[in-house]
C-alpha cells in the first residue's frame, strides 16, 4: 500500500509537471522547433526582451492588479465590518448570497454579464467603444471584493467582541478604539484578502477578455491573442519566467509559514 | 448613540451595497434582458427557442465536463488521502507542488499540452522512433477532457485534502477500537467525513469545465466546441450575436445553479446516506 | 464602609432585546465605596444591568444617574466607570505594560506619570517584572490581574466586574476573591460585581442584589439574605432550603404537616397560607418518638464535613445536614427549634422550590431531554 501510494503520488506529479517541464526545456532550444532539441540557447529569452508589447502588457497587468486589489480591499473591509454589525440574520444572508455570486458564477458569465451592462450604458451614452481600462478595473474590483470580505469577516468573528468595548471603556472614542484595537486584530485577514485579490487579478483571463477593449491588453489577454496563431518559442521563455517567479514566491511563502509555525509551536510549549 | 450607530452602519454598508447592486445584480438582470430581446430591444422568445440548435453543444459540454469531473475525483481522492498520511513537512512541500501549476495561468497550462499532443509533438515523435504512424491526439474529445482534468485537478485535490487532514486521529482510533478494519474505517468514517470536501471539489471542477472556452479551442477541433466557445464566438466574432449569447449564458447559469442545488442536497443528506 | 449618598441610581430601567424583556422596571441605588454584587443565574439580567451602567446598552426606558446627574446617552468612553470583562478582553497586540497604560495614553497623561502609575499598579496586583510580557504568554490568573490593573489605573469611581473569576479554577478563584476584596478596601472605590456563584456573593459583598427574570428579588446584607430570604426563589437560590407549605395560626405560631410549631415571625393574618423555610443544618434528627415530625430516611450521602440526608415526611422530601451517620430505611423524627423556622409570604415562586424529591435541576434537565427523545 505504501509503495503504491508513493508510485501513485509520483505519477500524478509527473502528469502535473510534464507539460510545464517540456515547455521550459524547449524555451532553451536553439532552434524554433518544439519537437527536436538541437542545443541549449538563451536566444528566445533575448527575443522576449525585445517584445515591447509584452513589457507593456505586464505593466498594465500590475497597475490593474494594484488598483483593483487596493480598492477592493477598502470596499470589502468596510463591507465586512458592516455585515459583522448587522443584526438581522436574513439581511446578513442576503448580503452573503450576493457576495457569493461572483465566486460561484463561472467567469464567463461574470464577464459576459458585466460586458452587457457596459455595452448597454455605453450605447445609451452614445459612446463608440465603452470597453477599456475603466471597465476592466470595475470588473476586477467586482470579482475581488468577495475574497476580501471572506478573509476579513472570519477574523472579525474570531475577535473578542469585548475588545472594542474594553477600549471604549478605557476612554477611546469609537473610531480610535477601532484603529487601536480592532484593526490590529483583523489586519492579517485584510492583508491576506489584499494578496489574494492581487493574485486573482494578475491571473484573470476570462473576465478581462470580455470587459476590456482593444486598446488595453493585460498579460493574459495578450497571451491569448498570441497563442491564437502559431507561436514562436519566445512565448515559452515568457511562460518559463512566470513559472520560476511563482515557484520563487511559493518557496518564500512556505519558508515564512514554516518559520511562523515553529514560532507558534515554541510559544505553546 | 443609537442614531450614531445607524449612521455608521449606513456608511459602512453603502459602498458595497451600491457596488454589488450595480455590478453584480444588475449585470445578471442584463443577461436576462438581452436573452429576451432582439437586437432592436423588442421583447422576443426567439433567442431561447433557437437554442435547440445548440442542443448537441449542451450535451457535449455536460458530457465532457462530467467525465472530466469523475476522472479528476478518482485521481484526486487517493492522492489527497496519501498526502494526508505523510509527515507535516512532506505535506507542506507536496502542497506547494500542487499549488504551483494551479497558480500558472490557465492559458499557459492549456497551451503547454499542445507541445506534447501535436501532430509533431513529443508523443508522436517518440512513436515515430519505433516506426509507428503518428496518432491524431490533438483535436479530439479525449484531448479536451484531458485538458479539463489537467487544469482543474488541483481544485479537486485541495478541498479533499483539507477535510482529510482535519480528521481527528482519535476518531480513527475510536473506529479501530470499535472493531473497524481498514476498509470499514475508510467506508464508515473517513469517507463520510470527507464528503464536504468532495462536494466542493466537484463544484470547483465542474463549473469551470462546463463553461470553458479556451481548453476546447486549443485542444479540440471545431466539432468539440462547447457552450463557452459558442458564447465567445457570438460575442467576439459576430456583430448581432449578443442576444443569443445572452440566452446561452442564461441557460448555462441555470444548468450550473441546478447542478449546485443537487450537489448541496447530496452534501446535506450525506451524513446519513453514505454510512449505510 | 457604607456612606449614605447615592453614587449610582437606576430608576425604572427597562431593557428589551428583540421584544424580549431582559430587565423589567428595575430600580436600584448604590452607595459610594460599596461592594455590591448582582447575583443570579444566566439570563437573569445581571450582566445587562452592568452594561447599562457602563453605557454599552441604552435602556428602552428609565434613567441612570451618576452622582445625581442623568447619564443616559453618555457614551461609555465619557463615563468614569471602568469594566473588567468576563474573559478579560486584554488587547493581544499590546504587552502587559501597554495594556495597563492604555487608558492613560488615550487620555494623554504624560509618559512619566504613566510609568509611575503603571508600576504602582503592577505592585498592587503582584505582577512586578511582567511589563514586557506578551498577553498570550500569561496564565489565566495573571491575565485577570492585568485586567484589574488596566481598569483600576484610570482611578474610576466605580469598577464594574462581570464574572471576573468565572474562568479560573476553584483554588485560584478563592485566592482572587480575597485579593479583589483587599484591592477594593485599599482603593475605597465602589465595586459592582456580577456573579452566579452565591458563595462568592455572600463572602465578598457589602450588599447582595438577587436577580431573577429581569427583576430584583431581594436586596440586603449577605447575612440577612441568607437568614431572611424574601421568597421561595431567594431561599432556594442562596444555600439549600426546605420550603414547606404552612398556615399561620397566630403570631409566633405556624402549622405545617398537620403540626403546630412555634416560630419568631409575626404580623401575618390568621389562617394565611405561607412558605416556611427551614435550612438543612437547622434540623436535628432524633430517635422516633422524640421529635415533631416522623419520616423515613431515603438516602445518605457523605459530603466531607457532613452527611446529606434525605428524609421522606408525608411525601415531602426534606434535606438535612448532620455530622452523624444514619442508615437508609431508618425511621426517625425531626426536631425543629423556633429560631430555625423562617416564614415568607406566598409569591409566584411558591411550590417551585425547596422539595428535594426532584433533587437537582440538572437531573430534571436530563429527564426532560430523555422525555423529549422518546416523543
Return contacts of A158-164, CB within 8 angstroms, 24+ apart. A159/A185, A159/A186, A160/C87, A160/C89, A162/C85, A162/C86, A162/C87, A162/C89, A163/C89, A163/C91
> At residue B96, does pLDDT exceed 70?
yes
CA C127 to chain centre: 29
Q: Establish if A31 belongs to a structural domain.
A: no
Cβ separation B235–A254 shorter than 8 A: no
| C350 contacts: CB under 8 Å, gap ≥ 6 | C231, C232, C245, C275
> At residue C94, does pLDDT exceed 70?
yes
ipTM score here? 0.89
The pLDDT score that the predictor gives to residue A49 is 86
Cβ separation B249–A115 shorter than 8 A: no
The pLDDT score that the predictor gives to residue A267 is 60
Which residues pair with residue A82 across a beta bridge?
none
Per the CB < 8 A criterion, the answer to whether C236 and C280 are in contact is no
User: From start to end of C170-323, where are the E strands?
Assistant: 190-195, 207-212, 215-220, 242-250, 253-256, 259-262, 273-278, 283-287, 293-302, 307-313, 316-322
Report the gap between the CA of B139 and the closest CA in chain A (Å).
15
> At residue B132, does pLDDT exceed 70?
yes
> At residue C362, does pLDDT exceed 80?
no
CA C318 to chain centre: 24
Task: Tally the domains of chain A.
Answer: 1
Report the gap between the CA of B271 and the closest CA in chain A (Å).
24
Residues 40 to 59 of C: which have CB under 8 A from any B CB? 58
Q: Which residues of A touch B96 (CB under 8 A)?
A: 250-251, 254
> At residue C162, does pLDDT exceed 70?
yes
Q: Which residues of A touch B101 (CB under 8 A)?
A: 16-17, 20
Cβ separation B2–C75 shorter than 8 A: no
Q: Establish if A146 belongs to a structural domain.
A: yes
pLDDT-derived band at B137 (thresholds 50, 70, 90) equals: confident
Chain C contact for B1 (CB, 8 A cutoff): yes
> At residue B5, does pLDDT exceed 80?
no
Q: Which of B23, B91, B121, B238 to mutate to test the interface with A (most CBs of A within 10 A)?
A: B23
The pLDDT score that the predictor gives to residue C236 is 87
The pLDDT score that the predictor gives to residue B7 is 84
Longest dimension (CA), chain B: 85
Report the gap between the CA of C82 and the closest CA in chain A (Å).
6
Which residues pair with residue C345 across a beta bridge?
C274
> Which chains sit next to B, with 3 or more Cβ pairs under 8 A?
A, C
Report the gap between the CA of B9 and the closest CA in chain C (Å).
17
Cβ separation A239–B115 shorter than 8 A: no
Per the CB < 8 A criterion, the answer to whether B222 and B21 are in contact is no
Per the CB < 8 A criterion, the answer to whether B204 and B162 are in contact is no
- What is the CATH T-level fold of the domain B57-273, as seen in this structure? MetI-like fold (1.10.3720)
Q: Establish if A9 belongs to a structural domain.
A: no
In angstroms, rounded to a whole number, what is the distance separating the alpha carbons of residues A45 and A54?
12
Among residues B73, B66, B224, the alpha carbon closest in space to that of B136 is found at: B224
pLDDT tens digits for range A33-62: 777 778 888 888 988 888 889 999 999 999
First-to-last CA distance in chain A?
Answer: 35
Q: A39-43, A190-194, A208-212: which range is least confident on average?
A: A39-43
The pLDDT score that the predictor gives to residue C145 is 92
pLDDT-derived band at A233 (thresholds 50, 70, 90) equals: confident
Chain-wide mean pLDDT for chain A?
90
Chain C contact for B5 (CB, 8 A cutoff): no
Determine what percent of chain B is predicted with pLDDT higher than 90.
53
Report the gap between the CA of B2 and the closest CA in chain C (Å).
8
CATH number (domain holding residue A155): 1.10.3720.10
Measured N-to-C along each axis, helices A107-124 and B227-237 cross at an angle, to the nearest 10 degrees, of: 20
Chain C contact for B29 (CB, 8 A cutoff): no
> At residue B274, does pLDDT exceed 70?
no
Report the gap between the CA of C74 and the closest CA in chain B (Å).
8
The pLDDT score that the predictor gives to residue B275 is 32
Chain-wide mean pLDDT for chain C?
88
The pLDDT score that the predictor gives to residue A224 is 92
Chain B contact for C75 (CB, 8 A cutoff): yes
| Minimum CA–CA partner of B2 in chain C | C58
| Minimum CA–CA partner of A162 in chain C | C89
> At residue B76, does pLDDT exceed 90?
yes
> At residue A264, does pLDDT exceed 80?
no
| Cα–Cα distance list, A66 to A140, A186, C144 (Å) | 10, 21, 44
pLDDT tens digits for range C200-221: 999 999 999 999 999 999 999 9
Question: Which of A18, A101, A206 has the CB atom closest to B116's CB atom?
Answer: A18
Give the global pTM: 0.82
Report the gap between the CA of B8 and the closest CA in chain C (Å).
15
Half-sphere exposure (CA, 13 Å, Cβ side) for A244? 9
Question: Which of A6, A76, A142 has the CB atom closest to B23's CB atom?
Answer: A142
CA B266 to chain centre: 17
Cβ separation A163–C77 shorter than 8 A: no
Query: What b/e readout covers C186-219, taking b as 16+ CB neighbours within 10 angstroms?
Result: eeebbbbbbbbbbebbbebbbbbbbbbbbebbbb
Alpha-helical segments (H) within A159-217? 161-169, 174-177, 183-203, 206-211
Which residues pair with residue C285 across a beta bridge?
C334
> At residue B11, does pLDDT exceed 90?
no
Determine what percent of chain C is predicted with pLDDT higher than 90.
52
Q: Which residues of B touch A79 (CB under 8 A)?
A: 12-13, 15-16
| Minimum CA–CA partner of C74 in chain B | B1
Q: Which residues of A touch B237 (CB under 8 A)?
A: none
Cβ separation C75–B1 shorter than 8 A: yes
Report the gap between the CA of B269 and the closest CA in chain C (Å).
21
Mean predicted confidence (pLDDT) in A85-104: 90
The pLDDT score that the predictor gives to residue C276 is 92
Q: Which residues of B touch C58 (CB under 8 A)?
A: 1-2
Domains of chain C: 6-227 (3.40.50.300), 240-374 (2.40.50.140)
Report the gap between the CA of A181 and the closest CA in chain B (Å).
18
Domain that includes residue A132, residue range:
54-230
* Range from A165-169, A224-228, B146-150, C292-296 that averages highest in pLDDT: B146-150
The pLDDT score that the predictor gives to residue A8 is 96
- Number of B–C residue contacts, CB under 8 Å: 4
Q: Establish if A23 belongs to a structural domain.
A: no
Cβ separation C91–A181 shorter than 8 A: yes
Interface of C with A (CB under 8 A): 54-56, 75-77, 81-83, 85-87, 89-93, 102-103, 106-107, 136-137, 150-151, 154
Chain B contact for A178 (CB, 8 A cutoff): no
Cβ separation A20–B101 shorter than 8 A: yes
| C17 contacts: CB under 8 Å, gap ≥ 6 | none
Q: Establish if A7 belongs to a structural domain.
A: no
For chain B, domain boundaries: 57-273
pLDDT tens digits for range B200-231: 999 999 999 999 989 999 999 888 899 999 99
> At residue B2, does pLDDT exceed 80?
no
Amino acid at each position: 500500500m505504501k509503495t503504491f501510494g508513493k508510485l501513485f503520488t509520483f505519477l500524478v506529479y509527473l502528469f502535473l509537471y510534464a507539460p510545464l517541464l517540456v515547455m521550459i526545456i524547449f524555451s532553451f532550444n536553439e532552434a524554433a522547433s518544439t519537437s527536436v532539441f538541437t542545443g541549449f540557447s538563451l536566444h528566445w529569452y533575448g527575443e522576449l526582451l525585445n517584445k515591447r508589447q509584452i513589457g507593456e502588457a505586464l505593466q498594465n497587468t500590475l497597475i490593474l492588479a494594484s488598483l483593483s486589489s487596493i480598492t477592493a480591499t477598502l470596499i470589502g473591509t468596510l463591507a465586512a465590518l458592516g455585515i459583522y454589525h448587522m443584526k438581522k440574520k436574513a439581511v446578513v444572508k442576503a448580503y452573503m448570497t450576493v457576495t457569493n455570486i461572483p465566486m460561484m458564477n463561472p467567469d464567463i458569465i461574470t464577464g459576459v454579464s458585466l460586458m452587457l451592462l457596459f455595452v448597454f450604458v455605453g450605447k445609451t451614452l452614445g459612446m463608440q467603444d465603452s470597453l477599456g481600462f475603466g471597465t476592466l478595473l470595475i470588473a476586477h474590483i467586482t470579482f475581488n471584493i468577495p475574497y476580501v470580505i471572506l478573509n476579513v469577516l472570519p477574523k472579525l468573528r474570531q475577535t473578542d467582541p469585548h475588545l472594542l468595548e474594553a477600549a471604549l471603556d478605557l476612554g477611546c472614542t469609537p473610531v480610535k478604539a477601532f484603529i487601536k484595537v480592532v484593526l490590529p486584530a483583523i489586519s492579517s485577514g485584510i492583508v491576506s484578502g489584499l494578496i489574494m485579490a492581487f493574485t486573482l487579478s494578475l491571473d484573470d483571463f476570462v473576465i478581462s477578455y470580455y470587459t476590456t477593449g482593444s486598446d488595453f491588453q493585460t498579460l493574459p489577454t495578450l497571451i491569448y491573442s498570441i497563442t491564437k496563431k502559431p507561436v514562436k518559442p519566445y512565448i515559452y521563455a515568457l511562460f518559463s519566467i512566470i513559472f520560476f517567479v511563482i515557484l520563487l514566491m511559493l518557496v518564500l511563502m512556505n519558508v515564512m509559514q514554516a518559520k511562523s509555525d515553529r514560532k507558534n509551536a515554541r510559544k505553546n510549549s | 448613540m443609537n442614531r450614531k450607530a445607524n449612521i455608521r452602519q449606513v456608511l459602512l454598508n453603502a459602498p458595497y451595497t451600491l457596488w454589488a447592486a450595480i455590478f453584480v445584480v444588475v449585470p445578471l438582470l442584463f443577461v436576462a434582458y438581452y436573452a429576451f430581446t432582439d437586437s432592436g430591444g423588442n421583447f422576443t422568445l426567439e433567442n431561447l427557442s433557437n437554442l435547440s440548435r445548440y442542443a448537441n453543444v449542451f450535451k457535449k459540454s455536460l458530457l465532457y465536463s462530467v467525465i472530466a469531473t469523475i476522472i479528476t475525483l478518482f485521481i484526486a481522492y487517493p492522492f489527497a488521502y496519501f498526502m494526508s498520511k505523510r509527515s507535516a513537512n512532506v505535506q507542506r512541500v507536496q502542497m506547494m507542488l500542487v499549488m504551483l501549476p494551479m497558480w500558472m495561468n490557465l492559458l499557459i497550462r492549456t497551451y503547454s499540452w499542445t507541445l506534447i499532443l501535436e501532430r509533431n509533438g513529443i508523443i508522436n515523435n517518440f512513436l515515430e522512433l519505433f516506426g509507428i504512424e503518428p496518432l491524431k491526439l490533438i483535436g479530439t474529445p479525449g484531448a479536451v477532457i484531458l485538458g479539463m482534468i489537467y487544469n482543474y485537478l488541483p481544485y479537486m485535490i485541495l478541498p479533499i485534502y483539507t477535510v482529510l487532514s482535519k480528521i481527528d486521529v482519535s476518531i480513527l482510533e475510536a473506529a479501530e477500537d470499535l472493531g473497524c478494519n481498514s476498509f470499514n474505517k475508510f467506508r464508515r468514517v473517513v469517507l463520510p467525513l470527507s464528503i464536504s470536501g468532495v462536494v466542493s471539489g466537484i463544484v470547483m471542477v465542474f463549473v469551470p469545465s462546463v463553461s470553458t472556452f479556451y481548453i476546447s479551442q486549443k485542444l479540440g477541433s471545431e466539432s468539440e466546441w462547447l457552450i463557452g466557445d459558442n458564447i465567445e464566438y457570438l460575442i467576439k466574432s459576430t456583430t448581432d450575436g449578443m442576444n443569443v449569447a445572452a440566452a446561452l449564458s442564461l441557460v448555462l447559469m441555470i444548468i450550473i445553479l441546478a447542478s449546485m442545488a443537487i450537489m448541496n442536497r447530496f452534501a446535506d443528506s450525506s451524513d446519513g446516506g453514505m454510512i449505510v | 464602609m457604607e456612606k449614605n449618598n447615592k453614587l449610582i441610581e437606576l430608576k425604572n430601567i427597562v431593557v428589551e432585546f428583540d421584544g424580549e424583556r431582559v430587565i423589567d422596571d428595575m430600580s436600584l441605588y448604590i452607595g459610594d465605596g460599596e461592594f455590591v454584587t448582582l447575583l443570579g443565574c444566566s439570563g437573569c439580567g445581571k450582566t445587562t444591568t452592568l452594561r447599562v451602567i457602563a453605557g454599552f446598552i441604552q435602556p428602552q426606558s428609565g434613567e441612570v444617574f451618576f452622582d445625581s446627574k442623568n447619564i443616559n446617552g453618555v457614551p461609555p468612553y465619557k463615563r468614569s466607570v471602568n469594566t473588567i470583562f468576563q474573559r478579560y478582553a486584554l488587547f493581544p497586540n499590546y504587552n502587559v505594560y501597554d495594556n495597563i497604560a492604555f487608558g492613560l495614553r488615550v487620555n494623554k497623561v504624560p509618559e512619566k506619570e504613566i510609568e509611575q502609575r503603571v508600576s504602582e499598579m503592577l505592585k498592587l496586583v503582584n505582577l512586578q517584572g511582567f511589563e514586557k510580557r506578551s498577553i498570550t504568554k500569561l496564565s489565566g490568573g495573571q491575565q485577570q490581574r492585568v485586567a484589574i490593573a488596566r481598569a483600576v489605573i484610570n482611578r474610576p469611581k466605580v469598577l464594574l466586574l462581570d464574572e471576573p473569576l468565572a474562568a479560573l479554577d476553584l483554588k485560584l478563584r478563592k485566592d482572587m476573591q480575597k485579593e479583589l476584596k483587599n484591592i477594593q478596601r485599599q482603593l475605597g472605590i465602589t465595586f459592582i460585581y456580577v456573579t452566579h456563584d452565591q458563595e462568592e456573593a455572600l463572602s465578598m459583598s457589602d450588599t447582595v442584589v438577587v436577580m431573577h427574570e429581569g427583576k430584583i428579588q431581594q436586596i440586603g446584607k449577605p447575612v440577612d439574605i441568607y437568614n431572611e430570604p424574601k421568597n421561595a426563589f431567594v431561599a432556594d437560590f442562596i444555600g439549600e432550603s426546605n420550603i414547606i407549605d404552612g398556615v399561620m395560626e397566630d403570631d409566633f405560631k405556624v402549622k405545617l404537616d398537620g403540626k403546630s410549631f412555634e416560630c419568631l415571625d409575626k404580623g401575618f393574618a390568621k389562617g394565611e397560607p405561607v412558605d416556611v423555610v427551614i435550612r438543612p443544618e437547622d434540623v436535628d434528627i432524633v430517635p422516633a418518638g422524640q421529635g415533631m415530625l416522623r419520616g423515613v430516611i431515603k438516602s445518605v450521602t457523605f459530603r466531607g464535613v457532613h452527611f446529606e440526608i434525605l428524609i421522606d415526611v408525608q411525601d415531602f422530601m426534606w434535606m438535612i445536614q448532620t455530622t452523624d451517620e444514619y442508615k437508609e430505611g431508618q425511621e426517625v423524627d425531626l426536631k425543629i427549634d423556633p429560631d430555625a423556622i423562617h416564614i415568607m409570604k406566598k409569591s409566584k415562586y411558591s411550590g417551585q422550590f425547596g422539595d428535594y424529591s426532584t433533587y437537582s435541576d440538572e437531573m430534571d434537565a436530563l429527564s426532560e431531554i430523555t422525555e423529549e427523545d422518546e416523543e
